[in-house]
Amino acid sequence: MVFAGAAVLVSIAAHGTRSEPPRHPTQSLRQAMPLDNPDGTKRGLSPITSRGDRAAARKLIRKLRVGTSGSLTGYTRTKFGAKWADDARGIPYARNGCRTRDDLLARDGQKVRFRRGSDCVVVALRLTDPYTGRTITWRREDADRVQVDHVVPLAYEWRMGARNWPMAKRMRIANDPLNLLPVSRSVNVAKGGSGPASWLPPSHRVRCAYAARFAQVAVKYALPVTAADKRVMLRQCR
């Protein structure tokens, strides 16, 4: 860590420089392709471009079980635990003393600044929105300008069977870094609880990567997808 003159903020250029145990793993400043990021601890969402990698993504998507979308009856955010609470177990960053949102801002942000005296609370950063490619300069005073998207939305999970899961499993998927990407508020609001058949990232370059990331989460948690979503996901990686 380095202090920026008399400033009250602490800045780090990249994570992994903290004393052990680190809050966040050492990472490259480059965004990661989903196939190279199976636990979700690497930054961002890099496009899948090569023929071989696209074939691997299709193979992953084909593993998805198809199911029928059910009702949203009974769904509330609290069914997946308190928002961004550090209570889940068995996933990266679990119970590290930082809120999940701050973990993800620190993972994906550049020029990250923390509140003085804290190596958890992110107060400023620069973010490349993985869904649009646009750069956002963010400060905590306008916190809602950057939101953390659930790649597989919680409402989608509920409709596809998560209503029958134990709370511990719902808390894991809600806080698993594999299922989380910081993005701009506008794009997150536009996505809502949609699956790939209803919403895809505005940037066509990352649509295969998005489909692969969606599939990674669904496979990890044995969550089915609709037939329409699976068809659209396969189509993105042709």
Q: Where are the chain's structural domains?
A: 2-236
| pTM attached to this predicted model | 0.89
Write the Ramachandran bin of 82: left for phi over 0, alpha for psi from -120 to 50, otherwise beta: beta
pLDDT computed for residue 30 by the predictor: 84
How far is the CA of 107 from the CAs of 26, 43, 54, 92, in angstroms?
9, 6, 25, 11
Range in 1-5, 121-125, 129-133 the model is least confident about? 1-5
Q: Is residue 55 pLDDT above 60, yes or no?
A: yes
Using the structure block, give the residue that is written with the tokens 């008399």.
6
Tokens describing residue 233: 């996901």
Range in 20-29, 64-73, 84-93 the model is least confident about? 20-29
Alpha-carbon 129 to chain mean position: 12
pLDDT computed for residue 49 by the predictor: 96
Range in 27-41, 70-84, 139-153 the model is least confident about? 27-41
Mark out the alpha helices in 17-144 (DSSP H runs).
51-62, 100-108
Q: Is residue 10 pLDDT above 90, yes or no?
A: no
Using the structure block, give the residue that is written with the tokens 């997946």.
80
What mean pLDDT comes out for the span 96-120? 96
In the chain, the DSSP E strands lie at 2-3, 9-12, 110-115, 122-128, 135-139, 146-150, 180-184
**Do 72 and 157 touch, CB atoms closer than 8 A?**
no
Q: How far apart are CA 184 and CA 190, in angstroms?
A: 10
Residues in the chain: 238
pLDDT computed for residue 25 by the predictor: 47
- Provide the pairing of β-strand 180-184 with 146-150: antiparallel
Long-range contacts of 78-83 (CB under 8 A, 24+ apart): 79/158, 79/163, 79/167, 79/170, 80/154, 80/162, 80/170, 80/171, 80/173, 80/174, 81/167, 81/170, 81/171, 81/174, 81/175
